[in-house]
């Protein structure tokens, strides 16, 4: 039996100004029961990292960013580097979110560069993978996920990847209210863990946390989290209200 501590992560996407984000973080700290049996991370937009960091600095809540660029500095207009994220107080960084892949042209190759850069700087990557509705309908789910994992983690060993968190986020379930059933999610998580065992060995597979994301809400979190290979959640919409997110954290 593994002792993976569930990680409940909130992705605030492009919502909230610096002051609004700090308010939500404050409300979250008041409404949540933080125990050592749960890890919690919130990822506000870049412009709110510093204000949220000030609110959560002496709490167990971790700060995450929603993306990074892989260079430390340079002439890369509009980008934010891992050095800057660390300076703002981040410990985690979401990488390869399907919105980045679909709307901003990110590829497995650039996802790999971002993961390498995060690890090099001691940031914990939350590496997102997931299939679209069409891919699932045509039975391509497992081949799509295999390819995303293989390309995204190319050239990295189990030692390099010790900090990695994997997030399975079926694209058809993100922001749609259509959650994968706990059975559907468990099937994929089980296969992903088996894949991790093949590539990196049993000890690694047993320790890596695999989060589920896609319309996680207060009323379905407990059922999803009861599955043996689901080790936490990446929550979008329902993490924007402190009360809802607190309910998910304390599922």
Beta bridge partners of 244: none
The interface region with ligand PGA, picked from 18-26, 41-49, 167-175, 185-193 by CB under 6 A, is 167-175
Could you confirm whether 169 is annotated as catalytic?
Answer: yes
Binding ligand PGA (rule: CB under 6 A), the pick from 234, 246, 248, 249 is: 234
Nearer CB in complex with ligand PGA: 48/205:
48
Give the ranges where the chain is alpha helix by DSSP (H): 18-31, 49-56, 82-88, 98-103, 108-120, 133-137, 141-152, 182-200, 202-207, 221-225, 242-249
For residue 235, what are the CA distances in angstroms to 94, 100, 240? 12, 16, 9
Task: Give yes or no for residue 216 binding ligand PGA (CB under 6 A).
Answer: yes
Q: Give the Cα separation of 10 and 5 in Å (integer).
A: 16
Letters for 116-155 (x = contact with ligand PGA by CB under 6 A, - = none) are ----------------------------------------
Give residues 9-38 in contact with ligand PGA (rule: CB under 6 A): 11
189 in active site: no
In terms of Cβ atoms closer than 10 Å to its own Cβ (0-12, 13-18, 19+), residue 199 is: middle
Catalytic residues: 97, 169
Binding region for ligand PGA (CB under 6 A): 11, 169, 174-175, 213-216, 234-238
């Amino acid at each position: 039996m593994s002792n993976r501590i569930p990680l409940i992560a909130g992705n605030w996407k492009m919502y909230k100004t610096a002051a609004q984000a700090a308010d939500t973080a404050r409300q979250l700290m008041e409404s949540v029961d933080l125990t050592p049996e749960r890890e919690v991370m919130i990822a506000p937009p870049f412009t709110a990292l510093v204000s949220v960091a000030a609110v959560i600095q002496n709490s167990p809540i971790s700060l995450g960013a929603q993306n990074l660029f892989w260079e430390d500095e340079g002439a890369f207009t509009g980008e934010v580097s891992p050095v800057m994220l660390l300076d703002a107080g981040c410990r985690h960084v979401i990488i390869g979110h399907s919105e980045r892949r679909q709307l901003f042209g990110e590829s497995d190759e650039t996802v790999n560069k971002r993961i390498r850069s995060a690890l090099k700087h001691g940031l914990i990557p939350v590496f997102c993978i997931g299939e679209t509705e069409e891919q699932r309908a045509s039975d391509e789910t497992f081949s799509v996920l295999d390819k995303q994992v293989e390309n995204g983690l190319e050239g990295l060993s189990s030692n390099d990847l010790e900090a990695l968190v994997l997030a399975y986020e079926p694209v058809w379930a993100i922001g749609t209210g259509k959650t994968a059933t706990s059975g559907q999610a468990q099937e994929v998580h089980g296969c992903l863990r088996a894949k991790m065992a093949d590539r990196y060995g049993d000890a690694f597979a047993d320790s890596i946390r695999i989060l589920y994301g896609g319309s996680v809400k207060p009323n379905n979190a407990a059922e999803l989290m009861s599955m043996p290979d689901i080790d936490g959640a990446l929550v979008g919409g329902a993490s924007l209200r402190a009360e809802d997110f607190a309910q998910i954290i304390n599922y």
